[in-house]
């Protein structure tokens, strides 16, 4: 029996919030650039970006282009609808992605387009972009499987 493919949760169920600290991330996403917030004083990455660096308390940030690759740090397969009307987007995989070249930062996203039974901790993934997400572009991740 073939494995189920990890789907994309529908836009109507999720509504990412932005603010002045995160807007540069979303602006880059529209351009299909995955960026990370790096402290302009000490270089530490912080994702999501916070007003103060947890290491040196600086408020200065540099937005750094990342390669868009990483590994699955943790994940959860959602196989049952958590809200009415969700059946069409099941199963989906919510994952914590450890981003390459971004220090110890991790990004919560989805792993999509691969069989759910092949998602595992340590799986190498790369970003793909879902445009037109209620006016935003969302980074998601997939893997090349053999
Ligand atoms: Zn710092």
Cis peptide before 72 (omega within 30 of 0): no
Q: How far is the CA of 98 from the centre of ligand 1 (A)?
A: 20
Q: How far is the CA of 79 from the centre of ligand 1 (A)?
A: 40
CA distances to 7, 40, 51 from 138, in Å: 14, 26, 23
Per-residue pLDDT tens digits for 1-11: 567 999 988 77
- pTM higher than the cut 0.85: yes
Question: Cα–Cα distance between 73 and 140 in angstroms, integer?
Answer: 14
Map tokens 């916070």 to a residue: 50
Q: How far is the CA of 60 from the centre of ligand 1 (A)?
A: 8
Neighbours of 99 (CB within 10 A): 25
Which domains are seen in the chain, by residue range? Answer: 17-142 (2.40.50.840)
3-state secondary structure of 70: strand
Per-residue pLDDT tens digits for 24-40: 999 999 999 999 999 99
**In sequence order, what are the residues at sequence separation of 6 or more whose Cβ sits closer than 8 angstroms to the Cβ of residue 27?**
none
Q: How far is the CA of 48 from the centre of ligand 1 (A)?
A: 14
Q: How far is the CA of 10 from the centre of ligand 1 (A)?
A: 36
Question: Cα–Cα distance between 109 and 75 in angstroms, integer?
Answer: 9
pLDDT per 10-residue tile (average), the chain, 146 residues: 82 81 94 97 93 95 97 96 88 97 95 96 97 85 84
3-state secondary structure of 96: strand
């Amino acid at each position: 029996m073939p494995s189920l493919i990890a789907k994309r949760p529908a836009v109507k169920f999720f509504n990412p919030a932005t603010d002045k600290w995160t807007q540069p991330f979303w602006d880059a996403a529209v351009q299909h650039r995955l960026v990370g917030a790096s402290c302009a004083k000490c270089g530490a990455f912080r994702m999501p970006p916070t007003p103060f660096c947890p290491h040196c308390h600086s408020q200065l940030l540099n937005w750094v282009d990342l390669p868009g690759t990483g590994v699955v740090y943790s994940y959860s397969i959602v196989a049952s609808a958590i809200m009415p009307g969700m059946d069409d987007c099941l199963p989906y995989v919510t994952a914590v992605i450890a981003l390459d070249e971004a220090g110890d930062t991790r990004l919560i996203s989805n792993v999509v387009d691969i069989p759910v039974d092949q998602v595992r901790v340590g799986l190498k993934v790369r970003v793909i972009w879902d445009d037109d997400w209620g006016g935003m572009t969302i980074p998601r991740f997939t893997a090349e499987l053999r």
